[in-house]
Amino acid sequence: MADEFVKGLGILMTAGLGWMIVAGWYLTPSFEGTQLLGEWPENPDLYAQIALAIGDGLFWFAILGTLTFWIVIPAGRKVREELDQRSA
């Protein structure tokens, strides 16, 4: 169980840091207003579009990867363990 926790934590930290870097560069219009959750730039160039797509991917990878290692895999192991006990 500790192995899955550390993998989920690693995914959360690295992907979250990557998302925060991209969001800080492109989605923070000013330091007085909304930070990290601002509007997309009006007319982004190709590299900005790529960075914003990578940022969205990192955000969802952080959420879904963490939930996978913290909830889905341990729950699947418990279900498999219960099924093995019932069949024996």
Per-residue pLDDT, 17: 97
Rounded to whole angstroms, the Cα distance separating 39 from 72 reads: 33
Averaged in consecutive runs of 10 residues, what is the pLDDT profile of the chain (88 residues)?
A: 91 97 90 82 93 96 97 95 90
Rounded to whole angstroms, the Cα distance separating 24 from 53 reads: 14
Per-residue pLDDT, 31: 81
Rounded to whole angstroms, the Cα distance separating 48 from 65 reads: 25
Per-residue pLDDT, 59: 96
Per-residue pLDDT, 88: 78
pTM, 2 dp: 0.84
Nearest to 68 by CA among 76, 58, 80, 59: 76
